[in-house]
Structure 1
Amino acid sequence: MDSFASSIVKNILEKVGSYAYEQIVSAWGLEEEIRKLKNTLEEIQAVLSDAEDRQGRNDEQGKLIKIWLQRFKDVLHDVKDLFDDLEIQDRKIMMANHGAAMNKVRGFFSSSNSIAFCFKMSQRISNIWERLDEIKTSKDRFKLSKTPKKEIGMNKSRETHSYVDAHSVIGRDEDVEKIIRSLLHDNSNNVVFIVSIVGLGESDVKNMTKEILKSTKAGLLSYDDSNFQKLQGELRKALEGKKFLLVLDDVWNDNPKVWEELNQLLIGRSGSKILVTTRSKKVASSMKSHLEYDLGCLSHDDCLSLFLRWASIEGQEERHKTLVQIGNEIVKKCKGNPLAAKTLGSLLSLTTDEKDWLFIKDNEIWELKQEDDDIMPVLRLSYNQMPPYLKSCYAYCAVFPKDFRFNSVDLIQLWLANGLISPHKNCEVEYIGMQYLKELFSRCFFEDVEEFVFVYTFKMHDLMHDLALSVAQNELLAVDSGTDSVSESVRHLSLLNSNLFQQKLKHSTQKKLRRTLRTILCPLAVLGSICESDVGNFVMGCKYLWVLDLSSSSFEELPSSIGQLRHLRYFSLSGNPRIRRLPTSICKLQKLQALGLVGCKKLERLPQGIRNMISLRFLEFTTNEEFLPNGEIGCLEYSLQVLSISGCQSLKFLFYDMEQLTALRTLSITDCHQLRRLPCSVNDLTSLENFLISNCAELDLEAKDKDAKSNQGHEKLLSSLRSITITKMITFKALPQWVQRSANSLPSLIIEDCPNFEKLPDWLKTFKSLQKLQIIGCPKFKPSEA
Structure 2
Amino acid sequence: MKLNTREKEQKRIIELLLRSTDESASASDSGSGFSVLPLVGIGGVGKTTLAQLVYKHEEIQNHFALKIWICVSDNFNVQRLTKEIIEFVTETQHSSQMKLAVLQNILKKEIASKRILLVLDDVWNEDEEWRKLCAPFQDAAAGSKVIVTTRSKNIADKIGTVEAIVLGDLDKISFWELFKKCAFGPSKPEEHPELEEIGRIIASKLRGLPVAAKTVGNLLGSNMNPHYWRRIMKSENHECFEIELTRMWMTEEFVVAQGNQRMEDVASKYFHELVNVSLFQTLWGNYYVMHDLIHDLTQSVSMDKTSRMTDGNSNKISTTLRHLAVKQSS
TM-score for the superposition, normalised by structure 1: 0.27
Partner residue in 2 for 1:214: 87
In structure 2, relative to structure 1, the CA distance for the partners of 1:169 and 1:234 (3 Å cut) is farther
Give the deviation of 1:469 after TM superposition.
4.9
Tell me, in whole angstroms, the C-alpha distance in 2 between the residues paired with 1:354 and 1:372. 33
Partner residue in 1 for 2:292: 378
Counterpart of 1:263 in structure 2: which amino acid? Answer: C
Equivalent pair of 2:237/2:292 in contact (CA under 8 Å): no
Give ranges in structure 2 of 5+ residues lacking alignment: 28-32, 45-73, 241-280, 306-318, 322-330
In the TM superposition, 1:52-131 aligns within 5 A as none
Partner residue in 1 for 2:208: 336
Give the deviation of 1:236 after TM superposition.
1.6
Partner residue in 1 for 2:110: 238
Tell me, in whole angstroms, the C-alpha distance in 2 between the residues paired with 1:290 and 1:489. 48
Counterpart of 1:187 in structure 2: which amino acid? Answer: T
Partner residue in 2 for 1:173: 7
> Does 2:186 correspond to 1:357?
no
Among 295, 300, 307, the residue aligned to 1:471:
300
Partner residue in 1 for 2:130: 259
Equivalent pair of 1:209/1:232 in contact (CA under 8 Å): yes
> Does 2:236 correspond to 1:366?
yes
Partner residue in 1 for 2:199: 327
SS of residue in 2 equivalent to 1:196: strand
Among 176, 187, 192, the residue aligned to 1:315:
187
In the TM superposition, 1:211-610 aligns within 5 A as 211-217=84-90, 219-253=91-125, 255-267=126-138, 268-361=140-233, 363=234, 365-366=235-236, 368-369=238-239, 371-372=281-282, 376-379=290-293, 467-473=296-302
SS of residue in 2 equivalent to 1:311: helix
User: For residues 436-472 of structure 1, what are the alpha-carbon distances to aligned partners after superposition, in whole Å with 9 as ceiling and x for unaligned?
Assistant: xxxxxxxxxxxxxxxxxxxxxxxxxxx6xx8445313
Tell me, in whole angstroms, the C-alpha distance in 1 between the residues paired with 2:38 and 2:227. 43
Give the deviation of 1:213 after TM superposition.
1.3
In structure 2, relative to structure 1, the CA distance for the partners of 1:197 and 1:169 (3 Å cut) is farther
In structure 2, relative to structure 1, the CA distance for the partners of 1:214 and 1:471 (3 Å cut) is same
Equivalent pair of 2:87/2:94 in contact (CA under 8 Å): no
Tell me, in whole angstroms, the C-alpha distance in 2 between the residues paired with 1:474 and 1:226. 43
Equivalent pair of 1:313/1:320 in contact (CA under 8 Å): no
Among 186, 192, 196, the residue aligned to 2:34:
192
Tell me, in whole angstroms, the C-alpha distance in 2 between the residues paired with 1:372 and 1:355. 33
Counterpart of 2:78 in structure 1: which amino acid? Answer: V
Give the deviation of 1:298 after TM superposition.
0.6
Counterpart of 2:177 in structure 1: which amino acid? Answer: S
Counterpart of 1:473 in structure 2: which amino acid? Answer: S
Q: How many residues align?
A: 224
Identify the structure with bigger relative contact order (alpha carbons < 8 Å, sequence gap 6+).
Answer: 2
Equivalent pair of 1:474/1:489 in contact (CA under 8 Å): no
> Does 2:16 correspond to 1:182?
yes
User: For residues 565-585 of structure 1, what are the alpha-carbon distances to aligned partners after superposition, in whole Å with 9 as ceiling and x for unaligned?
Assistant: xxxxxxxxxxxxxxxxxxxxx
User: For residues 498-554 of structure 1, what are the alpha-carbon distances to aligned partners after superposition, in whole Å with 9 as ceiling and x for unaligned?
Assistant: xxxxxxxxxxxxxxxxxxxxxxxxxxxxxxxxxxxxxxxxxxxxxxxxxxxxxxxxx
Counterpart of 2:121 in structure 1: which amino acid? Answer: D
In structure 2, relative to structure 1, the CA distance for the partners of 1:231 and 1:252 (3 Å cut) is same
SS of residue in 1 equivalent to 2:191: coil
In structure 2, relative to structure 1, the CA distance for the partners of 1:210 and 1:489 (3 Å cut) is farther
Instruction: Indicate the percent of aligned positions where both proteins have the same amino acid.
Output: 29
In structure 2, relative to structure 1, the CA distance for the partners of 1:309 and 1:284 (3 Å cut) is same
SS of residue in 2 equivalent to 1:355: helix
Tell me, in whole angstroms, the C-alpha distance in 2 between the residues paired with 1:244 and 1:225. 27
Give the deviation of 1:179 after TM superposition.
0.4
TM-score for the superposition, normalised by structure 2: 0.61
Equivalent pair of 2:304/2:320 in contact (CA under 8 Å): yes
Give the deviation of 1:220 after TM superposition.
1.9
Tell me, in whole angstroms, the C-alpha distance in 1 between the residues paired with 2:237 and 2:159. 38
Counterpart of 2:38 in structure 1: which amino acid? Answer: S
Counterpart of 1:264 in structure 2: which amino acid? Answer: A
Give ranges in structure 1 of 5+ residues lacking alignment: 1-166, 380-462, 477-487, 491-786
Equivalent pair of 1:340/1:378 in contact (CA under 8 Å): no
SS of residue in 1 equivalent to 2:213: helix
Give the deviation of 1:475 after TM superposition.
5.3
RMSD over aligned Cα, in angstroms?
2.8
